[in-house]
Amino acid sequence: MEYLKKNVFFNSIFGFLAFFTGLQIALSQHTNTLSVRLNGETKELNIQQEFIYVNSSKSTLEELYFNDWAHAYSNKNTGLAKRFAQEFKKSLHLAKDNERGRTTILSAVDDEYRGLRWERTAEKDLIKITLNQPLLPGEKVQLFMTYTVQLPPDKYTPYGYNNRDEYYLKDWYLSPAVFDGKWNLYSNKNLEDLYTDITRTTVNFRYPGNLFLTTNYRNLGTSNFPNGKQTQLESIKQKNCEIILSPFQKFKTHVTPYMTVVTDLQSPKYDDISQGISIDKVSKFIFDNLGKYPHAQLLVSQKDYNKSPLYGLNQLPSFIRPYEEQFQFEMKFLKTALNKFLTETLYLNPRKEQWLKDAIANYLIIEYVETFYPDQKLLGKLSNIWGIRGFNIAKMDFNEQYPFLYMLTARKNLDQALTTPNDSLIKFNQKIANKYKAGMGLSYLADYIGKDKIDTSIKTYFKHYSLNSAKVLDFESILKRSADIDIDWFFRDYLSTDKKIDFKIKKIIKTDDSLKVTLKNKEGTNVPISLFGIKKDSVVSKYWFTDIGSQKTFTIPRGEEDRLVLNYDHKIPEFNERDNWKSLKGFLSSNKKLQFRFFKDAENPYYNQVFYVPVLNFNIYDGWSPGMRIYNKPFLEKPFVYDFAPSYAAKEKSLVGYGKFNYRKYLSKSGLYVANYGFRGSTSHYQENSRYTTITPSIGFGWRPDDLRSNKRDFLSLRYVNVFRSLDDNLENIETDPDYSVLNARFTHRDNGIIDYLSWFADAQYSKDFSKLSFELEYRKLFENNRQFNFRFFAGKFLHNTIEPGLKFFDFALDRPNDYLFDYNYLGRSEETGIYSQQIIIAEGGFKSKLQNPFANDWMATVNTSINIWRWVEFYSDFGFMKSKNIKERMVYDSGVRLNLVTDYFELYFPLYSNNGWEVTQPNYEEKIRFIVTLSPKTLTGLFTRKWF
């Protein structure tokens, strides 16, 4: 009763404040009138815009700023183009001039038709207009702007036009930037976060007659005229006009008791009547949890869903449908509708306060599943298939995906605070992890203080702050007033930092009627933690504990529990759940049993998981080598990993393979951020009946900048490579001692960009017979005309070398290093003739032609260059000097054609001219062709994951 009285009181206060706030905004709202004509031939918008700007601030304004996000497509130096380059997308960088979007300002005048001085800011997609006279607080100014917008094709973002004569227009006209004591100026970075003031907008839109128009605004009517149509659109308190044009009438209008929905979402195997029932069901759920939608209609499009899909589901082929049609359709509609609903009503700063909308949306999605589909599994119907149902991931509930996907970046030390600005988040966090952590945060808080308090707070916030300039602080204030216990930790630690949450049960002391439980806070993050008493698989008790510094002991009643488990329901995004439980049945019962799983699985904290998967390797000496890889790394990264892959070499009829242990310790987010400690052994054959074995302990450190989106990295590695070799008695004598050890230190710098790529390393090696230094630099530049220039420089020098001249095993190599450290994946390591000898790995000299005397035991310096002629066809040229002891240095060179099909992964080299002369005219030319091939799946998948992390 006390809580209800308090809630009524605060609702009255909020209602009183909201009335005057709404009145003030209504009186100070900008007015925007647009007359627009779409030219279907040129894909251009001709716009006349009348804008009345009301200065509702306390400052005198001498200039105004407008967002011109359509101009973000204009060149390769905009914020949009630079962000694409960071994410390894080069389409906008390489676009032809007629494929770019741009805004051309024709005129800008005030209400007395005096010209206004305007200029673009450095960001290119923001316009600064200098007023002819200062605009005092409370006054307004009328502007008239005439301009054209050249629409881009939709191959860069979903916006623009496609070859089916369809258009998707969003952020397409000049809109006012927000001034709240300072100008909030944000570039278009394809983040769906335009920050603009609330306006009253009227749009008179003229377009070709064969198109149908759909919009999020109120449609006042359409007039037909020869070869065209004109539609009038209106909004009172909306921020951005979206328009979708198509030759097909794809959208359907669903009028429900709760809102009017316009959508083109479809499910081929879910009939129209059932879809309508589901839309009504979801609309009611949104109405019950947020309230009435204040605009004429809610636009829910397939394009909106594609921008934020149900991740995982959208990656599957269309013929694999793991969920029932009803569930799948409702989840697609719910997620898209919630995102649009909140965007159209809560006018937060989307660049800096996006987390709150994400939190509310994902909290309600979690609640929807718990309410209507409580038994839904993450893998859906796949969870019942023999061979899959035994996996831990098949037993996970649908809502367990939220902590699971968040942990993908947290375990990689790439998680970022929820309050991090949208444009500073790495792509995976911006698209998935932070959104999920935000939703989990409200679920976590609801579990702690009571779900009714969170639900009431969301409704109160929406009721009083929708369609107004809302702030996160207002939501925080409402939440704190609703809670009757301290929740400062939620805003202080959960939202505003990237601190990990990690607790463990250190020990339990049992008495006749109680349990003394000591909990350890492994990360020191002061948040509540839940403790469950479990009997078999049923919850028999639950407790919350707070204020745990490093560790703390609590006493709880002893009941029927047979084990205690922290965070049993996974409501808390805890970093490590492997030490979250202890059995009450005795010491041995707490020991984890072994669990064997094929391929890989999600973590199961109650078992020591061992994964196995068949492997098949190949080199010409071992032949095909089938084997079994045995390792302990689940889907999520873990600190200590072992990995063994014994294989049977069919050709040699013996065992080969590798084994390794690695411990990774993350030290911080930036600067010196990681340390790796490793021990690896491997054995294989390097000639017929000739085996090599390596044993290598190593240590490495990594550095990265404060900006986690940056691709810059520095690494320092130190390893001690021990090699043991045996040789078949029937083959030639081995050139050097069969066994040797090399101490190797290397510092590497890498800035892995798709437009500009730079890497270099300095390498030092020491052995009892030699010591050497080497340096390599590689630079790639992709020009705007799609020309790519590649430059590589290598220099190496022996500091001492006591090996007899003529024994070339440790020498610098011009075209095919001997690889005495066994780092390279040669298919035929010792081959000097035949197809396997033509494999090339660009290292040391980096030459492609096979020249006479290609080894140097004193020093070598080479330059390798290439430039593309047409698409992936390039011309390459190599040049250098090399010197051996007691021999004069000599100049070497070669040139030819490179087919750069996938850089560093699959390439072909066709020599033309070198020290050997014109190679194309010489016999057996096919033996001179060189190739690069990468068969490692892990290496290849890096091509697709690099844009996310």
DSSP 773-811: EEEEEEEEEE-TTS-EEEEEEEEEEEEEE-SPTT--TTS
- 21-35, 115-129, 291-305 — which is least confidently predicted? 21-35
Mark whether 784 and 911 lie in a shared domain: yes
Strands of the sheet with 212-215, listed across from one edge: 160-161, 167-169, 243-246, 212-215
Domain boundary, last residue among 590, 621, 641: 590
**CATH code for the domain in which residue 733 is found:** 2.40.160
Residue 942 phi, psi dihedral angles, 5° rounding: -60, -25
Q: pTM for the complete prediction?
A: 0.92
Band (313; pLDDT cuts 50, 70, 90): low
The answer as to whether 639 is a domain residue is no
Nearest to 192 by CA among 336, 310, 334, 331: 336
Domain boundary, last residue among 247, 273, 298: 247
Alpha-carbon distance of 654 to 660, in angstroms, equals 20
> 688-730, pLDDT tens digit by residue?
889 999 999 999 999 999 999 999 999 999 999 999 998 876 6
Band (733; pLDDT cuts 50, 70, 90): low
Helix or strand holding residue 705 (H, E): none
% the chain with pLDDT above 90:
80
Alpha-carbon distance of 887 to 881, in angstroms, equals 12
> 668-692, pLDDT tens digit by residue?
999 999 999 999 999 999 988 899 9
Mark whether 69 and 109 lie in a shared domain: yes
* Pairing verdict, β 563-566 and 581-583: antiparallel
Alpha-carbon distance of 297 to 510, in angstroms, equals 62
Contact call for residues 313 and 305 (beta carbons, < 8 A) = no
The reported pLDDT for the residue numbered 904 is 73
Domain residue limits at 256: 251-320+332-345
Mark whether 494 and 521 lie in a shared domain: no
Band (15; pLDDT cuts 50, 70, 90): very low
The answer as to whether 296 is a domain residue is yes
> 386-431, pLDDT tens digit by residue?
989 999 999 999 999 999 999 999 999 999 999 999 999 999 999 9
The answer as to whether 3 is a domain residue is no
The count of domains in the chain is 5
The answer as to whether 595 is a domain residue is no
Mark whether 275 and 201 lie in a shared domain: no
Answer whether residue 2 shows pLDDT above 50. Answer: no
Band (941; pLDDT cuts 50, 70, 90): low
Alpha-carbon distance of 606 to 105, in angstroms, equals 65
Answer whether residue 454 shows pLDDT above 50. Answer: yes
- Which residue type is seen at 937? P
Mark whether 671 and 729 lie in a shared domain: yes
**CATH code for the domain in which residue 120 is found:** 2.60.40.1730
The answer as to whether 909 is a domain residue is yes
CA distances (Å), 21 to each of 52, 178, 473, in order? 20, 17, 16
The answer as to whether 629 is a domain residue is no
The reported pLDDT for the residue numbered 536 is 87
Answer whether residue 21 shows pLDDT above 50. Answer: no
Band (586; pLDDT cuts 50, 70, 90): confident
Write down the mean pLDDT value for the chain: 92
Alpha-carbon distance of 495 to 419, in angstroms, equals 6
The reported pLDDT for the residue numbered 175 is 97
Mark whether 392 and 255 lie in a shared domain: no
> 72-92, pLDDT tens digit by residue?
999 988 999 999 988 889 889
Answer whether residue 735 shows pLDDT above 80. Answer: no
Contact call for residues 501 and 525 (beta carbons, < 8 A) = yes
The answer as to whether 166 is a domain residue is yes
**CATH code for the domain in which residue 373 is found:** 1.10.390.10
Mark whether 145 and 224 lie in a shared domain: yes
Mean pLDDT, to the nearest integer, of 862-884? 95
Contact call for residues 604 and 636 (beta carbons, < 8 A) = no
Mark whether 60 and 169 lie in a shared domain: yes
Band (949; pLDDT cuts 50, 70, 90): confident
Nearest to 708 by CA among 307, 337, 434: 434
Alpha-carbon distance of 344 to 509, in angstroms, equals 55
The answer as to whether 9 is a domain residue is no
Nearest to 639 by CA among 520, 530, 519, 502: 502
In the chain, what is the straight-line distance between the N-terminal and C-terminal CA atoms, in Å? 50
How many other CB atoms are there within 10 angstroms of residue 361's CB atom?
Answer: 23
Mark whether 199 and 155 lie in a shared domain: yes
Classify residue 12 by its DSSP letter. H
How many other CB atoms are there within 10 angstroms of residue 935's CB atom?
Answer: 12
Mark whether 493 and 565 lie in a shared domain: no
Domain boundary, last residue among 498, 513, 543: 498
Alpha-carbon distance of 314 to 432, in angstroms, equals 13
Answer whether residue 581 shows pLDDT above 70. Answer: yes
Mark whether 724 and 814 lie in a shared domain: yes
The reported pLDDT for the residue numbered 317 is 63
Alpha-carbon distance of 406 to 403, in angstroms, equals 5
Strand partners, 251: none
The reported pLDDT for the residue numbered 757 is 93
Band (872; pLDDT cuts 50, 70, 90): confident
Mark whether 275 and 411 lie in a shared domain: no
